[in-house]
Every structure is written in structure tokens, then in C-alpha cells.
């Protein structure tokens, strides 16, 4: 479904990704783990069209998209839930969801998607008229994921969905990703909770200073000395 081939990206001439290559098959959950500043968010921004690579290519369903603008990438079937949620704080829950569905013009289609999201995150049904900025951190993250799902993406990319969320809600957020996958979505996940992310993932990649240094199934990476020493303190 998604393929990156020798992608290089920089900020103001400073390299951030160095020859990054990986792929995701339809129906997988793939996790990218690495320390802060390793380039994980840069990968997601490059796929979603917010950044353009200096070299290499990005392909989605065999189509090259590294020159496609961000709003058109959404229309192709990719949704990006950014780090920090980036909600419209002065809009209601329902209004934020509606913004996420701007590529879907049918009122019936939008209504059906809202119902699906309320089934996934029942608390949002009770908060429909509440301003997004007044929600708890966990509720905001649920809304951010819901907003991404409103575009009915085939590939959902999430950047640190558990960041800043109470521990009791982290498990609920990550469990929702398994449900989303079961409904047919493919997921690219960047997550600080390495153990939980790799337990959830079909496969994973370890990113260090802009380079992929290790790959394997989630179980294989959890057993690797590199992951255990660098990210689990073992």
C-alpha cells in the first residue's frame, strides 16, 4: 500500500532523513519507534505532503505522491493525525468531525461516519456540542483520531497518540486502533510507548538519527537487544 524508497528530507539544508526505505502492506499496523529527534514525525509529514523529499520517492497504491500537495493526499486516502492533536479549539466536537470530512460531500456519508466514530468513542457522543478546547487530553485525542477517520482513509497515520494522556486512557486509545484495523484500515503508528506499540503492531522499524537501523515483527523487535537497551532500559 505504501512504499518509501531512499527518501531524504531536510529542514533548511539540515538533513533529517537519510535514505529511508520501508513498506506497508494493506491491513497492517506498522510502528516506527525511535528517540526524540530521530525523524519519526518527519516521515509522517513527508507521506502526508507537508514536506517534500530532497531525494527518493513515496508511493501510495503504486502511485507516486511525493510531489502531491497535502490536501490532495487526503483525497487519495491518507489521513494524518498529528502530534499534539491540533484540533480547532473553538469549534465543537461535531464541527471538528465535519472539518475532517471535507473530502466527503454526501450528508448521509458524513452522518454515517459520525455514528461510526461515536460507536468507537462513546464519550464523544455525549460531548457533541462541547468546544474541543474544553475536552480532557484523552477526549481530545479521541476526537483527533475521529476527525482523521471522517475522511474514510485507507491509510491512517498517527503521531504519538498517547502523548500527554492519562495512563488509564492510553490502553483505551491503543485498543481503538485494533478495532480500526479490524474494520479494514491500514495504520502507520509513531508511538512513545514502545512495548504497547510493538505488541499491537504486525511489523516495526527502528529509526535512529534519520536512518532505519532495524526492522522486524513487533515480537522480534521486543526481543532485540537494541530495542531492549535503547528504549526499554533493559
Number of domains in the chain: 1
Query: What is the domain range of residue 198?
Result: 2-87+152-230
In Å, how far from its chain's centre is CA 122?
Answer: 21
- Reading the block at residue 162, the C-alpha cell is 498517547
> Residue 84: its pLDDT value, please?
79
CATH of the domain at 192: 3.40.50.300
| 15 within a domain of the structure (yes/no) | yes
Q: What is the pLDDT along the chain (234 residues), one digit of tens a residue?
A: 999 999 999 998 889 999 999 999 999 999 999 988 899 999 999 999 999 999 999 999 999 999 899 999 999 999 999 987 899 999 999 999 999 988 877 888 889 999 999 999 999 999 999 999 999 988 999 999 999 999 999 999 999 988 888 887 888 888 889 899 998 899 999 988 888 899 999 999 999 999 999 999 999 999 999 988 877 766
| 28 within a domain of the structure (yes/no) | yes
> Residue 37: its pLDDT value, please?
86
> Residue 234: its pLDDT value, please?
60
Alpha helices (runs of H) in 55-193, residue ranges in sequence order = 70-76, 93-100, 107-120, 122-126, 137-149, 167-182
Q: What strands lie across the sheet with 203-208, from one edge to the other?
A: 78-81, 155-159, 186-190, 29-33, 203-208, 211-217
| 158 within a domain of the structure (yes/no) | yes
| 74 within a domain of the structure (yes/no) | yes
| 186 within a domain of the structure (yes/no) | yes
pTM of the model: 0.91
| 17 within a domain of the structure (yes/no) | yes
> Residue 173: its pLDDT value, please?
86
Please give the Cα distance from 17 to 42 (Å, whole number): 8
Helix, strand, coil shares, percent, the chain, to 5: 40, 25, 35
Please give the Cα distance from 220 to 17 (Å, whole number): 24
| 30 within a domain of the structure (yes/no) | yes
| 127 within a domain of the structure (yes/no) | no
State residue 37 phi and psi, 5-degree precision: 85, 5
DSSP per-residue letters across 162-192: TTT--HHHHHHHHHHHHHHHHTT-EEEEE-S
Amino acid at each position: 500500500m505504501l512504499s518509501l524508497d531512499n527518501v531524504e528530507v531536510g529542514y533548511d539544508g539540515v538533513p533529517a532523513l537519510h535514505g529511508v526505505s520501508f513498506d506497508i502492506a494493506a491491513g497492517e499496523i506498522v510502528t516506527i519507534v525511535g528517540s526524540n529527534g530521530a525523524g519519526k514525525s518527519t516521515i509522517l509529514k513527508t507521506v502526508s505532503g507537508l514536506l517534500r523529499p530532497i531525494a527518493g520517492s513515496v508511493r501510495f497504491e503504486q502511485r507516486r505522491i511525493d510531489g502531491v500537495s497535502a490536501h490532495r493526499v487526503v483525497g487519495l486516502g491518507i489521513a494524518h493525525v498529528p502530534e499534539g492533536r491540533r484540533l480547532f479549539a473553538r469549534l465543537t466536537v461535531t464541527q471538528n468531525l465535519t472539518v475532517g470530512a471535507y473530502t466527503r460531500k454526501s450528508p448521509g456519508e458524513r452522518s454515517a461516519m459520525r455514528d461510526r466514530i461515536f460507536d468507537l468513542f462513546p464519550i464523544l457522543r455525549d460531548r457533541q456540542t462541547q468546544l474541543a478546547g474544553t475536552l480532557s487530553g484523552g477526549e481530545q485525542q479521541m476526537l483527533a483520531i475521529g476527525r482523521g477517520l471522517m475522511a474514510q482513509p485507507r491509510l491512517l497515520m498517527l503521531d504519538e497518540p498517547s502523548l500527554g494522556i492519562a495512563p488509564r486512557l492510553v490502553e483505551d486509545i491503543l485498543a481503538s486502533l485494533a478495532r480500526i484495523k479490524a474494520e479494514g484500515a491500514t495504520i502507520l503508528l509513531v508511538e512513545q510507548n514502545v512495548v504497547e506499540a510493538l505488541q499491537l503492531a504486525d511489523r516495526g522499524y527502528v529509526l535512529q538519527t534519520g536512518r532505519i537501523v532495524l526492522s522486524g515483527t513487533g515480537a522480534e523487535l521486543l526481543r532485540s537487544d537494541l530495542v531492549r537497551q535503547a528504549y526499554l532500559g533493559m
